[in-house]
Structure 1
Amino acid sequence: MGRIPPGPPETGRVRRNRDADWNDWPVADYLAENYRRLHPCDIGVIHHHAAVYRRFAPGALSRTVELGAGPNLYPLMLAAAASRGVDALEPSAASVRYLCGQLAHGVDDSWRPFYALCRSLAPGLPADSAEALRRVRVVRGTADDLVPGTYDLASMNFVAESVTEDFGEFTALCDAFVHAVRPGGTLLAAFMERMPSYRIGTGPVWPACPVDEAALRAVFTPRTTGLRIVGLAKDRTLPEYGDTGVLLLTAERPAA
């Protein structure tokens, strides 16, 4: 998740996705700062997302995608409640290594409370997280590799706003996300609200595009139907990261 501290003041140069070395994404620091325990923010996201997956019977979705999966496992766990196959699309070599290790050797103990909550809210999940994650296929790639109309559902958590300072590029990433699903397909996303560019630990500054509800509506209203956006309050159990909360989005790609 993108709950991370702001970087230094603006330099005047707008940085795009290609300007960051995502292969060097600091997975260990990221997990330590965000996912080694279950925070109220995570609980809110999981409740929201589980309600979407409960619309579908177990196995009703042929294939879904997690765009920019990173090392966050709980969106993949939740998808297994309804999907027969889940593509975790991720450009970072470091994150791909982490995901493949978790799938091959079992999840870190810190993920167990996350899975317990997912399963309590999505009864279609199996008793064991390893069985749920067997439906996941890790795919090294970017939004440019998405084939339009491939998936029944697309999920994206703390990605488009966390990889570029360019609102045009943010919009293009969201457009690729929308078109990844078939006409009538479901879209499910979470965004950090008004998050500036940021550091993880003592590493480099990563580009981010601060967005609010009005920005999301401007991007998604002409591209979707049934758009719904709800907010989560800033999680005060976390350090001060520069964001003002979380925005949760559901929508559908218009039917042909």
Structure 2
Amino acid sequence: MPTARRPARGPTVRRNRDADWNAWPVDAYLAENYRRMHPCDIGVIHHHSAFYRTSAPGSVARSLELGAGPNLYPLMLAAGTARRIDALEPGSAGRDYLRRQLEHGPEDSWQPFYALCRALDPTLPATLPEALARVRVVAGGAGDLPDGAYDTASMNFVAESVTEDFGEFTSLCEAFVHAVRPGGRLVASFMERMPSYRIGGGPVWPACPVDETALRAVFAPRTTGLRISRLAKDRTLPEYGDTGVLLLTAERPAP
């Protein structure tokens, strides 16, 4: 998930188009967040695994990971139910990393994540490469999504981590909801109250601090069965400015 240190904020509100996502610092991002498993990762995996276990193995024709980035564990989790997983990623750096993992095999650092995923859901494929064989890397962002194309959709640390504009955050979440068919299911995680942030010593990336009240304001009018829970701030990570992680499940209303 994006790391955050509080930079000085100017008067200009930065939006998604103002950041160069092709230059996303993949190596630094992984080093700060995913080279080992943190308590917040364990919490997200437990939450998302419970969501996927309510569907029969292989029962989902198409699943979406919106803004996949270089994080592999959401893709692992979807492999128990989905026959095809589209990893939609706007940045070339993130896409290049994903393609390397698929074509040359995942890095060893991902194996403990998959061991936990499979311990929670034994219907997952026996090996991580088998699970990732269901993934297709797709160039694009939320604005490229066709309405209702997916049965399930997942989004992790994305909408709140790409814009300082709450209106744009809302639009991104709405596109996420409309990516699934009516009756389709949604699972997501958000950094709680995270300000715009840096990764390593790089540039400031835009973020929109959100809390449970903000998520309910966005998702309650657009979904049914909305459930939001919270993970405490992960003290094993550096001080990023967030106050925890918010976890969401919901469905797109049927007509």
> Is the shorter-chain TM-score for this pair beyond 0.5, marking a shared fold?
yes
Taking only aligned residues, the RMSD between alpha carbons, in angstroms, comes to 0.5
Is 2:57 the partner of 1:55?
A: no
Letter of the 2:196 partner, please give it.
Answer: S
| Residue matched to 2:231 | 232
| Residue matched to 1:125 | 124
State how far apart, in whole Å, the 1-side matches of 2:137 and 2:6 are: 30
Q: Deviations over 1:159-214 (max 9, x none)?
A: 00000000000000000000000000001000000000000001100000000000
State how far apart, in whole Å, the 1-side matches of 2:85 and 2:110 are: 18
Deviation at 1:219, TM superposition (A): 0.2
State how far apart, in whole Å, the 1-side matches of 2:61 and 2:182 are: 14
State how far apart, in whole Å, the 1-side matches of 2:123 and 2:141 are: 30
Structure 1 gaps, min length 5: none
| Residue matched to 1:116 | 115
State how far apart, in whole Å, the 1-side matches of 2:171 and 2:122 are: 35
Is 2:177 the partner of 1:178?
A: yes
Task: State the SS of the aligned residue for 2:116.
Answer: helix
Residues 30-179 of structure 1 mapped to structure 2, 5 A cutoff: 30-179=29-178
Deviation at 1:136, TM superposition (A): 0.2
TM-score of the superposed pair, with normalisation by structure 1:
0.99
Task: State the SS of the aligned residue for 1:110.
Answer: helix
Is 2:249 the partner of 1:242?
A: no
| Residue matched to 1:195 | 194
Q: Deviations over 1:53-89 (max 9, x none)?
A: 0001110000000000000000000000100000000
Letter of the 2:221 partner, please give it.
Answer: P
Preserved contact between residue 6 and residue 195 of structure 1 (Cα < 8 Å): no
Preserved contact between residue 187 and residue 250 of structure 1 (Cα < 8 Å): yes
| Residue matched to 1:251 | 250
Structure 2 gaps, min length 5: none
State how far apart, in whole Å, the 2-side matches of 1:39 and 1:81 are: 23
Residues 194-213 of structure 1 mapped to structure 2, 5 A cutoff: 194-213=193-212
State how far apart, in whole Å, the 1-side matches of 2:228 and 2:193 are: 15
Task: State the SS of the aligned residue for 2:31.
Answer: helix
State how far apart, in whole Å, the 2-side matches of 1:120 and 1:252 are: 26
Deviation at 1:123, TM superposition (A): 1.5
Deviation at 1:9, TM superposition (A): 1.7
Instruction: State how many pairs are aligned.
Output: 255
Q: Deviations over 1:123-177 (max 9, x none)?
A: 1111110000000000010101100100000100000000000000000000000
Letter of the 1:217 partner, please give it.
Answer: R
| Residue matched to 1:27 | 26
Letter of the 1:74 partner, please give it.
Answer: Y
Deviation at 1:232, TM superposition (A): 0.1
Preserved contact between residue 23 and residue 92 of structure 1 (Cα < 8 Å): yes
State how far apart, in whole Å, the 2-side matches of 1:122 and 1:144 are: 33
Preserved contact between residue 6 and residue 240 of structure 2 (Cα < 8 Å): no
Preserved contact between residue 52 and residue 77 of structure 2 (Cα < 8 Å): yes
Identical aligned pairs, as a percentage? 75
State how far apart, in whole Å, the 2-side matches of 1:183 and 1:13 are: 37
Preserved contact between residue 6 and residue 241 of structure 2 (Cα < 8 Å): no
TM-score of the superposed pair, with normalisation by structure 2:
0.99
Deviation at 1:237, TM superposition (A): 1.1
